[in-house]
Amino acid sequence: MNKFTVKDGTEIYFKDFGTGQPIFFHHGWPLSSDDWDAQIMFFLDKGFRVIAHDRRGHGRSTQTATGNDMDTYAADVAELTAFLDLKDAIHIGHSTGGGEAIRYAAKYGRDRISKVVLISAITPYMIKDENNPDGVPLAVFDDIRHNTLTNRQQFYHDITFPFYGYNREGADIKKGIQDNWWRQGMMGGIKAHYDCIRVFSETDFTEDLKSVDVPVLVLHGDDDQIVPYATTAVKANELLKNGKLIIYPGFSHGMPTTEAATINKDILAFIQG
């Protein structure tokens, strides 16, 4: 197992396969690097070096009680990418990982990144307030907190239905995908997962998006029941200096898994463009 110890002693698990231009993957809450299987195999076959880590408190990394905030997440990535000496890298983030990717790019990545991809991402920010009247109400995140704290085992099963659009009429439900989501979630630490709910709901990435100069591809499904596209992807693209937006009709939040062929093709075209 590859593990790298960051400055506060937290061990970060990571995968590092292949050679060539590096692609670094940032996973969503409460998952792990395993959620990128379809992308890792696709881009490895295309000749890229592929790297994916388990965020602190998630997967096989240390189950941390501290440092569960976006600045620390990005700093962990900066330490790991420096250790691996990644240059000219493409950073791809899904959901919470999209926030992590753009925060890393803005604060640390200027000399190391070439492009960024945000998939179903939480950027610029999620929560409803006076500046974001169409955002998600606080009560929704309080419910996620309550269920994570008191009912995590069942909640991590139930949330897979809206996550993958399996609650839609005619959905092709794959229990293996649901079980894999549950498995990844239960590998992580409850304290880190609980803390991360505030991170993905309340962190403001407006200035990060404005400051990134490299090309950024923004991908989102218009049937995303977890991160509504109109208040995230559309607004994020408007803030970017060099953004490209693709909205997929009918795609769910979990589209990197359920629609991997389409997502991978569009990312590859962006990288090669």
The H or E element containing residue 267 is helix 260-272
Q: At what angle do helices 96-107 and 70-84 cross, to 10 degrees?
A: 60
Extract the tokens encoding 18.
């292949």
Query: Which among 81, 68, 77, 118 is positioned nearest to 98, based on CA atoms?
Result: 118
Distance CA 227, CA 94 (A): 11
Q: Decide if 224 is catalytic.
A: yes
Q: From start to end of the chain, where are the E strands?
A: 2-5, 11-17, 22-26, 49-53, 89-94, 113-119, 216-221, 243-248
Its sign, for the CA torsion 145, 150, 153, 159, is negative
Omega of the bond prior to 256 within 30 degrees of 0, cis?
no
Instruction: Kindly name the residue from 32, 33, 61, 95 that is annotated as catalytic.
Output: 95
Q: How far apart are CA 98 and CA 25, in angstroms?
A: 9
Dihedral in degrees, nearest 10, Cα atoms 243, 37, 205, 185 = 160
Best CA proximity match to 119, nearest among 144, 141, 143, 102:
102
Among residues 26, 91, 193, 253, which one is catalytic?
Answer: 253
* Single-letter code of the amino acid located at 235: K
Is 91 part of the annotated catalytic residue set? no
Distances (CA, A) of 244 to 33, 94, 99, 119, 236: 25, 16, 17, 12, 10
Q: Is 201 a catalytic residue?
A: no
> What is the set of active-site residues?
95, 224, 253
